[in-house]
Amino acid sequence: MKNSIYPCLWFDGKAKEAATFYCDIFPNSKIISENLMVVNFELNGNKFMALNGGPTYKLTPANSYVIQCENQEEIDHYWYKFGQEGVYKQCGWLEDKFGVSWQIIPTVLGKLMSDPEKSQRVIAAFMKMTKFEIEVLENA
């Protein structure tokens, strides 16, 4: 038996608006189906569900979505698109206008962090950042 696992994001009446916003940001994305309560959509081939669940529950940074970026252009794209009307945080984190938390990180970060001679300098550099700057990290 194959199980499909995907996130369900709880919104207070803005499920379609949020799904449309996200689909406009990611390539290869689309709304699959919708009704009054649920919008099923794909972001770059990954399935999501948006639920019009009402005001009972709120999204928190305890659940965030990581976007690994190959270059600075990708970081800048996601950072500024998701940050529209949102809140920028430290170390590549931001909260979008719907309250969903995202981590926009460079793919090279794992390699830089695994270098014992460089890792402490890399950590010190990114602790001062909001949006990650690859060149600064590589030169740390």
The structural architecture, per CATH, of the domain 59-140 is Roll (3.10)
Question: What does pTM read for this prediction?
Answer: 0.92
Express each pLDDT in 61-72 by its tens digit. Answer: 999 999 999 999
Question: What is the per-residue pLDDT for 3?
Answer: 73
For the chain, which residues make up each domain, given as ranges? Answer: 1-58, 59-140
Q: Do domains 1-58 and 59-140 have the same CATH topology?
A: yes
Q: Which residues of the chain have pLDDT under 50?
A: none
Within a 10 A sphere around the Cβ of 46, how many other Cβ atoms?
13
Question: What is the per-residue pLDDT for 25?
Answer: 97
Question: What is the per-residue pLDDT for 1?
Answer: 57
Structural fold of domain 1-58: 2,3-Dihydroxybiphenyl 1,2-Dioxygenase; domain 1 (3.10.180)
Q: Which two tokens stand for residue 82?
A: 């998701």
